[in-house]
Chains A and B, each alone.
Chain A
Amino acid sequence: MRPSFFHHLHPPTIPAAQARWRHTLGAGGTTVFLMLVLGVTGILEMFYYVPNPEEAALSVQVITYHVPYGGFIRNLHYWSAQLLLIVSAVHLLRVIFTAAYGHPRRFNYLLGLGLFVLAIMLDFTGYILRWDQGICWPLTTGTNLIKTIPFIGDFLFRLAVGGGDACKTALTRFYTWHLFGLTIPVVVLGIWHAFRVRRDGGIAVPPPHARTDNVRISRNELVRREVLTMFIASILLVLLSSFFPAPIAPAMIGKPSPDAETRAPWFFLWVQQMLKWGDPFIFGVLIPFGILVILAFIPYIFPKPADSDIGTWFPKSNRLAQVAATVIAVFIIILTLLNR
């Protein structure tokens, strides 16, 4: 039988430690599943969505309230997207806390970080596609933030929005960014990321000479565990989508009144909280970007984890990176809770 990409990802046997839930938390695999759900439900939404400022919000209402199972499909898309951000963040923290980013996995860590940023941008553009009263102020402040970047801000704003007043014009570009401009890079980087996991020796575990258990599991067992994880994720998705509908607001007619929704989507609440402190460029662009740079540099300038520590939880040689990631995570969570 000719080996396929599936066989590349699922070799005949792998060390049992690479597929233990308490080691991987199943996070990386779950993101793949969520992206598949997002792809399928997103295509289904495209059969009804009208990317035109006059009709977009109404077509979302048609999907939500008239199309059979339309509301459920939209809820699945919404919840998969929110879970994707949470599961990706868990995956990133798992990789840092188990020192899994060490050589030779440094480059794949960067690919993963890139995927995380793209996922955030996809969530924001998708949220804007509702094009109802709830999105105008977050869209206005978000795109005005781009303009505060010195020298290239106006250029980036035109690239993202197409110019003009974002609440009246951004839909065409955000639609294209959401469906193609961001999605195609996610697919390419995602396949590359999964390919590199195997190419770099599979999920990070201590090297053979430092391993305490040499149990291996078969391909069938690995697939069984993956299917089980997907099954659990599906149940959670169906429950969330059945009982907690995705947000929707009345269609936007002219500029919404100041009492329309002014809170950022949940994953940007921490940035909105910082923006209350002062200069938009510093608090809305420099600090978030700085956090990203620190994360990107962890495999390159932080102390190198010992070989025998790679793939173990909270190893000593990796303390500094663990502290940095914890401080960043706590900082973001506290700011999110402060913003009410």
Chain B
Amino acid sequence: MTDLSRRDFLKLLRSGFLYISGALALGGLLRFLDYEPNPAPQTEFDLGPASNFPLGSRTLLSDPPAVLLHTQSGFSALSLVCTHLGCTLEDQENGFTCPCHGSRFDAKGNVTHRPAEKPLQSLRVEVTDEGNLRLFTA
């Protein structure tokens, strides 16, 4: 410690002060930019009266991208958001195809062609007390 002259001590203090201020400012900047100003994407969708979707119907929805089925066992829905990188799938004869990177899924949502690895997400559908259909994407 005795080797440290007054001048060196002040130098050390100065550079330490500058580096710490810089690091604090950078941390502050990153926290500033990290805020999410946009509301989280909607996860609940009102599809209108359930009677619009008769038994045996198969409806393509565009927002949220999904296919809605009404079968003997009730309503069910399959998300048409590709599980690879999020493009909307094209509806085709026996399944769905992603126009972005060529993933293919069968009608039940299982992967039949890579690059996607996860099957399509099934979405929860509920009939409200008023008889409206409600679709949940999360």
Contact = CB atoms under 8 A, between A and B. Distances in A.
B87 A278 contact: no
Contacts of B63: 254-255
B88 interface: yes
Interface stretch (B7-15, B36-44, B125-133): B36-44
Contact of B86 (A140, A155, A162, A163): A140
Contact of A259 (B39, B85, B90): B90
A141 interface: yes
B67 to A, nearest CB: 13
Nearest to A138: B100
A258 interface: yes
Counting chain A CB atoms within 10 Å of each CB, the highest count among B33, B62, B88 belongs to B88
Contact of B115 (A145, A169, A280): A280
A160 to B, nearest CB: 9
Interface in B49-78: 62-63, 65
Nearest to B34: A158
Contact of A164 (B34, B38, B87, B101): B38
B86 to A, nearest CB: 5
B89 to A, nearest CB: 7
Given A164-B40, A164-B41, A275-B101, A258 B88 contact: yes
A234 interface: no
Interface in A270-298: 272, 275-280, 284
A158 B115 contact: no
Contact of B38 (A169, A257, A272, A275): A169
Given A159-B33, A257-B62, A137 B90 contact: no
B115 A276 contact: yes
A165 B34 contact: no
Interface in B1-49: 30, 33-41
Contact of B87 (A137, A159, A163, A169): A137
A164 B86 CA distance: 13
A158 B101 contact: no
Contacts of A229: none
Contacts of B38: 162-164, 168-169
A284 B85 CA distance: 10
Nearest to B115: A278
Interface string B86-119: 1111100000000111100000000000110100
A192 B101 CA distance: 40
A336 interface: no
Contacts of B86: 140-141, 144
Given A137-B99, A277-B115, A255 B41 contact: no
Contact of A254 (B39, B62, B102): B62
Given A141-B86, A163-B36, A276 B62 contact: no
Nearest to B103: A276
Contacts of B87: 137, 140-141, 258, 262
Contacts of B40: 163-164
Given A137-B87, A165-B41, A169-B38, A158 B99 contact: no
Contacts of A155: 34
B84 interface: yes
Nearest to B42: A165
Interface of A: 137, 140-141, 144-145, 155, 158-159, 162-165, 168-169, 172, 254-255, 257-259, 262, 272, 275-280, 284
Given A141-B100, A275-B84, 11 more contacts: A141-B101, A158-B34, A162-B36, A163-B36, A163-B38, A163-B40, A164-B39, A164-B40, A259-B99, A279-B115, A280-B85
10 contacts: A141-B87, A158-B36, A162-B37, A169-B38, A258-B88, A258-B89, A258-B90, A259-B90, A259-B99, A280-B84
Interface of B: 30, 33-41, 62-63, 65, 84-90, 99-102, 114-115, 117
